[in-house]
Structure 1
Amino acid sequence: MHKVLMIIFWSLIAIGIAGCDLNQNSSIKTLAAKGPIKIAVSNTPLSAPFFIAEQQGYFKRNNLNIELVRLDGGVKCFNALLNKQVDLATASETVVMFNSFKQTNFSVLASFVESDNDLKLLSLVPQKYHQLNNLANVRVGIVKSSASEFFFDSLLIMYNKTQQPIERIYLRADQLIPALLNNEVDIISAWEPLSYLLTQQITSNTKVINSRGLYHLSFNLIELKQTTLSASEKLALLKAINDAIDYIHTHSDLAQVDISRILNIDPSQLHYSWNDYTFRLSLSNALFSNIQIQSQWAIDNQLVPTEKSVDFRQVIDRQLLEDFMNSEAGW
């Protein structure tokens, strides 16, 4: 009888252990059956939190099956979302603003990085145009209907130069530096890493003005309002991104090594602009104001339908981030 009881006792323990193992792995098996959550991310250091989250295993630790779909630029990422090729996308506030005039079927869930020194005016003879002097008949290379053009127009307003006769030469981003070096333009309005790439060819200073703080770029996490993702999955994603941001803050040098390897860029290029990035999860009033200002610029320059009014509060969803912040604070 004693032997029978002992056999039953150890059998129950074995069943209990097996049950624990089953419970521990069941959610992972369910995730695998469901398939990965696809996120379109731009091939830029601005997307560092996503690359670090994947590299350091933060997605898996938060029980997420994530596939990063790497594309060149926020416009392509946003289009992949609209075409339902991905579940989420990352893009700048400028992309958000332009697309808000076309549809409001998407939501900005959070900003994850900001930079106040990403765009610059560059010239081979910057001293000639210091403080935006001598702009009459100057040839300026610009990427049309982009942050490049908005930044340049903002500077003209700030320095009271809007009446200057200026020749705008619209180019693709990859054409800006060649046009400057070939004397096809006198100034370019460019974002990183173009300033860094120019320093590799021209050793002298090329910056026309100190533009730090004059324009705030943000990259944002965006979803379609009709999504199959649950609130718990999105909260887990914010947790994984926040974990990656903490890693970036505490292991900056290691994070830079990882990002330069993942993006296959020279470490010196990454270091050139790394300190300009502020990685954090937010949805500040500054983002809303920035989108409003850019929208008025787009309307004034007839880049969007002038008869259409957009309430940008329709595309900014603060609830998810507030829920995440409350849960992190233990409320």
Structure 2
Amino acid sequence: MKKVLLLCLVVALICIPAYLWLRQEPLQPPARKISIAISTTPLSAPFIVAKARGLFRQHGLEVELQPLDGGLLCFQKLIARQVYMATSSESVVMFNSFEHDDFSVLASFAESDKDIKLLSLKASGLSRPQQLAAKRIGIVEASSSEFFLYAYMLLSGHGDLGFTQVNMPVQELASALLEKRVDAISVWEPYGHQLQRLMPQEWLEFDTKGVYSLSFNLLGHKTDDPEDLRTNTRVLRALAQAIDVMDSEPAQAKRLVGQYLDMPAAELDALWPDYVFKLSLGNALIANLQMQAHWAIATGQVRAGSTPDFRRLLDHRALNSLPLFAQTL
């Protein structure tokens, strides 16, 4: 009898740990580490909020945000394969689609019709398009800054007005204006508002409302790798959650964005109503890209040739996998 009891005890000591091991939850795979280049603008708010609230981590991702001064620099990082994803305006997409076809647009996530401004110094008296004849205007080449200037001149009926385009990095535009190296600048936020804050009585803003509605977009590498497709979907799910947080907790969202961008609360409060945050990817973006491409060819901003097929740039797979979009796209 003692031998039987001893045998039962040995069997129990072997079987119980094995049973418990089989019943435990499977180990979670390690989080995939990716880097995303984002422009240092409030338009990047969904990424900032998703990172700060741990939403990427909830979807099995360890995301490093790389803040850069503008979508063009973000795009260059993407093409050099120094980051997994990047953000940019549709103008950057358009300009670069003439040279590159190895990237995709995964979603638009922000829109604004007041993010870019045309500014001059009050001492110059420049505030109307016809006054820009023979003037020097600072812009960021191959970006929304450049397209915005030409769109404004065309729509105001002064498309053939002669002026000198001065190309420079966005962070140099304000100093170039203040030092009178240029007469006006086409600049996106928050750089325009920073200039206005530094010299509140010294600048003039051209009336450009309704001229151009900018979209900000998430770009990735062209891929059919199943793991990349899963990663892209997880990023968009985290962004969708972040936008929900921004809608339900705007004060908290602005606090997180202001801290990340080192922007005063009053400055961000003034800009925030100009932005619409939502995920989309459709015909409106294609039409905008086509319109800008026709302009770029007609004005010699890009090498003459056939317009890229922008439909081939749009990759709907990740966005289509989100429940909200599965039946609508």
**Length-normalised TM-score, structure 1:** 0.85
User: How far apart, CA to CA, are the structure 2 residues paired with 1:172 and 1:88?
Assistant: 22
Match of 2:72 among 71, 75, 78: 75
Say if 2:282 is the partner of 1:284. Answer: yes
Say if 2:103 is the partner of 1:106. Answer: yes
Residue 200 of structure 1 is matched in structure 2 by 197
- Letter of the aligned partner of 1:122 in structure 2? L
User: How far apart, CA to CA, are the structure 2 residues paired with 1:312 and 1:144?
Assistant: 21
Question: What SS class does the counterpart of residue 322 from structure 2 fall into?
Answer: helix
* Structure 2: gaps spanning 5 or more residues: none
The residue correspondences of 1:12-27 to structure 2 (distance < 5 A) are 18-23=21-26, 26-27=27-28
Deviation for aligned residue 1:96: 1.0
User: How far apart, CA to CA, are the structure 2 residues paired with 1:266 and 1:202?
Assistant: 16
- Between the two proteins, what is the percent identity of the paired residues? 36
User: How far apart, CA to CA, are the structure 2 residues paired with 1:256 and 1:85?
Assistant: 29
Deviation for aligned residue 1:248: 0.8
Residue 54 of structure 2 is matched in structure 1 by 57
> Judging changes above 3 Å, is the alpha-carbon distance between structure 1 residues 297 and 258 closer, same or farther for their aligned structure 2 residues?
same
Q: Deviations over 1:106-144 (max 9, x none)?
A: 111101111111111112239944453433333333333
Say if 2:39 is the partner of 1:42. Answer: yes
Residue 87 of structure 1 is matched in structure 2 by 84
> Judging changes above 3 Å, is the alpha-carbon distance between structure 1 residues 22 and 161 closer, same or farther for their aligned structure 2 residues?
same
Q: Deviations over 1:189-213 (max 9, x none)?
A: 2211222112223223844433233
User: How far apart, CA to CA, are the structure 2 residues paired with 1:210 and 1:165?
Assistant: 20
Residue 125 of structure 1 is matched in structure 2 by 122
Residue 97 of structure 1 is matched in structure 2 by 94
* Structure 1: gaps spanning 5 or more residues: none
Question: What SS class does the counterpart of residue 134 from structure 1 fall into?
Answer: helix
User: How far apart, CA to CA, are the structure 2 residues paired with 1:327 and 1:296?
Assistant: 30
> Judging changes above 3 Å, is the alpha-carbon distance between structure 1 residues 2 and 257 closer, same or farther for their aligned structure 2 residues?
farther
> Judging changes above 3 Å, is the alpha-carbon distance between structure 1 residues 204 and 226 closer, same or farther for their aligned structure 2 residues?
same
Check the 8 A contact 1:38/1:66 in 2, yes or no: yes
Q: How many residues align?
A: 325
Residue 240 of structure 2 is matched in structure 1 by 242
Check the 8 A contact 2:130/2:161 in 1, yes or no: no
Say if 2:175 is the partner of 1:178. Answer: yes
Question: What SS class does the counterpart of residue 173 from structure 2 fall into?
Answer: helix
Match of 2:262 among 258, 261, 264: 264
> Judging changes above 3 Å, is the alpha-carbon distance between structure 1 residues 213 and 162 closer, same or farther for their aligned structure 2 residues?
closer
Question: What SS class does the counterpart of residue 118 from structure 2 fall into?
Answer: strand
Residue 31 of structure 1 is matched in structure 2 by 30
Q: Which moved more, 1:201-210 or 1:306-315?
A: 201-210
Residue 307 of structure 1 is matched in structure 2 by 305
Question: What SS class does the counterpart of residue 109 from structure 1 fall into?
Answer: strand
User: How far apart, CA to CA, are the structure 2 residues paired with 1:175 and 1:66?
Assistant: 30
Deviation for aligned residue 1:320: 2.6
Residue 168 of structure 1 is matched in structure 2 by 165
Check the 8 A contact 1:97/1:291 in 2, yes or no: yes
Check the 8 A contact 1:113/1:280 in 2, yes or no: yes
Check the 8 A contact 1:31/1:65 in 2, yes or no: no
Q: Which moved more, 1:54-63 or 1:133-142?
A: 133-142
Report the RMSD for the aligned CA atoms in angstroms.
3.1
Say if 2:113 is the partner of 1:116. Answer: yes
Check the 8 A contact 1:111/1:280 in 2, yes or no: yes
Check the 8 A contact 2:294/2:307 in 1, yes or no: no
Q: Deviations over 1:25-65 (max 9, x none)?
A: x22xx324xx5122222233222111211111111222223
Deviation for aligned residue 1:329: 7.2
> Judging changes above 3 Å, is the alpha-carbon distance between structure 1 residues 263 and 9 closer, same or farther for their aligned structure 2 residues?
farther
Match of 1:222 among 202, 209, 219: 219
> Judging changes above 3 Å, is the alpha-carbon distance between structure 1 residues 234 and 175 closer, same or farther for their aligned structure 2 residues?
closer
User: How far apart, CA to CA, are the structure 1 residues paired with 2:184 and 2:284?
Assistant: 29
User: How far apart, CA to CA, are the structure 2 residues paired with 1:274 and 1:126?
Assistant: 29
